[in-house]
Structure 1
Amino acid sequence: MLNSDPIIDFGRKAGADLVGIAPAERFEGAPKGHKPEDILPGAKSVVAMAKRIPLSIVKSIPSPYYDRFGYHDLNAYLRELTFRVALFIEDQGFEAFPLDPSVDDKAREVQILQEAPEPKIKILGDFSHRHAIVAAGLGEFAASSMVVVPKFGPRIRAVSVITTAPLEPGPLLGGKSRFNICRPEACGLQCGKKCPARALPGDGTIDHFKCRNYRNPGVFTLEYFKAIAESKKTRGPAWSRPGGRPTPQTGETCGICIKVCPIGISL
């Protein structure tokens, strides 16, 4: 087991607000094709990193400023971060696979759970950076299904680097209940109440169809997602198509749920 401190220190100096290490074994429950070793054979560890979204940008939600600085420009920042960290690990003599913080819809895996009376779908990216944040002991899943961290709440974007280096992992966050950082009984589940799409029931899940369809009515239809699900049979690994913006996207990213969450809201 290798000391993780040099990589954690480098990640912070490279621009990450949060850096943690998760062993590949903590992803055993991930779906086939989405585990660290599915992407990088021989994977031993995942370096999970996150950057906060500027609070002034969060307060501007809903606005094009969040769409730009809280999503697309921040994704570009994270891409450079993962590239630098991956090369640093490679300089230590191990393979490292930098992942994109977001992928084009055509690179995602879509599962059609139900067509009627209301469509229900599940969307999977190439690799779950949210799960990596939790597996590295940096945060926990909230009632909204978002990942929250003590200092910044849900106002982060995350990214990961998979490596063959057997790094010393961080401890998992402990707690006596399912939600420890997130306290829905204290805030009255503001994320669910204020969600304009009514996509957050408060049980730790999200209605992907309602969330997407609210942003682009008539664009993110059931037929659109069925076409993606069908194409998955022939197009190969999800992680082969990095992107950062769903192909037919025309509306702005919402973000109300991260704005109203009280966790870590003060500077």
Structure 2
Amino acid sequence: MATDGVVQAVKRVGLDAGARVVGVAAAEAFRAGVPEGFRPEDILPGARSVVVAGGDGPTAGAWRCPDHRVMEITGYDLRENVAIHAMCDYIERELGYYAVQAPSLPVHGHEPPMSMMHAAELAGLGTRSFAAHIILNPEYGLLYYAALITTLPLPADPPLAEPACPHPGCVAMYKRIGTTPCLRVCPACLSGTLKDARIETSTYDREKCHSRAQTYGIGSFQKALLAVVNEDDAGRRREMIHSDFFAKSVQSVGFFRDSIAQCFECMRVCPVGRKHRKLK
């Protein structure tokens, strides 16, 4: 097992590369709740540790922009990946162990080869929330997560003893009126109950949320293209091809990614980490 000094050195590389937080989970910790084929050792034989980096999402200024489209097009979810690549390089070049970025993009549907949400929980960086089950860090709130898998045995960080959600202010609001900020702002996609200041039940309608929060992407391009092909009127086909919807759908394919966040409303009203968005 690597020493604490090695762990701190790895984490420092990630933090210096732009991560807000870095945590470590044991590869074997994934076996309890993860089926075969989706575990760290299925991606890197001999895996011993998973290092998770959490990076900031939109800047405080982006949160204040009155045009909510800015949150979609600015694309801040990159720094955690840079941090992961920097730590992979350090582990392989300086420490002599294998390391690879954990694949997190879906290969079909919404099923990625490895869950970054679960990895962040096991590494002690956050817990699931009422808000679409997004992982919330108790200090910074919404973060974007990436991970690496390595054969380097590192001491693991424990999962959080106290959940980041619900926030004390949300508990007080629930006692008064039976809801929380995120449940109230998006009742169509979210529902749940609290008991003894803890989440008792939580339901997230992913398909309904997907139709609202991921309007443009590979799926929308397929839908729009099929409509164009099936349209008999040449003039109407031209209008459809030059429409804003079709243009944005093509653009999403050009960026080789789905537009994953066209709705931030549940996070916009979340009090966890809000203090870091209040500046001059």
Q: Output the CA distance in 2 between the equivalents of 1:5 and 1:31.
A: 31
Question: In structure 2, do the counterparts of structure 1 residues 61 and 212 end up closer, same or farther at CA, with 3 Å as the change threshold?
Answer: farther
Q: Output the CA distance in 2 between the equivalents of 1:39 and 1:99.
A: 8
Question: In structure 2, do the counterparts of structure 1 residues 34 and 61 end up closer, same or farther at CA, with 3 Å as the change threshold?
Answer: farther
Among 239, 243, 257, the residue aligned to 1:245: 257
1:146 aligns with 134
2:238 aligns with none
2:243 aligns with none
* Counterpart residue type for residue 2 of structure 2: L
1:64 aligns with 69
1:60-110 per-residue CA deviation (whole Å, 9 max, x = no partner) reads: 3762221133xx3423x333222211111112111111135x52x5x23x3
Q: Output the CA distance in 2 between the equivalents of 1:193 and 1:20.
A: 32
Q: Output the CA distance in 1 between the equivalents of 2:261 and 2:130.
A: 24
2:209 aligns with 211
Q: How much has 1:205 moved relative to structure 2? A: 4.1
Question: In structure 2, do the counterparts of structure 1 residues 170 and 253 end up closer, same or farther at CA, with 3 Å as the change threshold?
Answer: same
Contact 2:13 2:86 in 1 (8 A): no
1:37 aligns with 41
Structure richer in helix, relative to its length = 2
1:192-230 per-residue CA deviation (whole Å, 9 max, x = no partner) reads: 22127x21223344221101112329x858x98xxxxxx
- Is the aligned partner of 1:201 residue 2:191? yes
Contact 1:212 1:220 in 2 (8 A): no
Structure 1 runs (4+) deviating above 6 angstroms are none
* Counterpart residue type for residue 209 of structure 2: C
- Is the aligned partner of 1:55 residue 2:60? yes
Contact 2:17 2:82 in 1 (8 A): no
SS at match of 1:193: helix
Question: In structure 2, do the counterparts of structure 1 residues 146 and 259 end up closer, same or farther at CA, with 3 Å as the change threshold?
Answer: same
1:134 aligns with 121
* Counterpart residue type for residue 37 of structure 1: E
SS at match of 1:9: helix
TM-score by length of 1: 0.73
Q: Output the CA distance in 2 between the equivalents of 1:94 and 1:15.
A: 23
Q: More relative contact order in 1 or in 2 (CA 8 Å, sep 6+)?
A: 1
Equivalent runs, 1:35-184 vs 2, <5 Å: 35-53=39-57, 54-60=59-65, 63-69=68-74, 72-75=75-78, 77-91=79-93, 92-99=95-102, 103=105, 107-108=107-108, 110=109, 123-144=110-131, 145-153=133-141, 155-175=142-162, 179=163, 181-183=165-167, 184=170
1:2 aligns with 2
2:182 aligns with 191
1:256 aligns with 265
TM-score by length of 2: 0.70
SS at match of 1:174: coil
1:227 aligns with none
Q: Output the CA distance in 2 between the equivalents of 1:172 and 1:73.
A: 26
2:195 aligns with none
Contact 1:61 1:255 in 2 (8 A): no
* Counterpart residue type for residue 183 of structure 2: G
Q: RMSD in angstroms over aligned alpha carbons?
A: 2.7
Contact 2:47 2:152 in 1 (8 A): yes
Q: How much has 1:55 moved relative to structure 2? A: 2.1
Q: Output the CA distance in 1 between the equivalents of 2:261 and 2:116.
A: 22
Question: In structure 2, do the counterparts of structure 1 residues 19 and 180 end up closer, same or farther at CA, with 3 Å as the change threshold?
Answer: closer
Q: How much has 1:37 moved relative to structure 2? A: 1.1
* Counterpart residue type for residue 190 of structure 1: P
Unaligned runs of 5+ in 1: 111-122, 225-242
Query: How many residue pairs are counted as aligned between the two chains?
Result: 221
- Is the aligned partner of 1:17 residue 2:3? no
SS at match of 1:19: strand
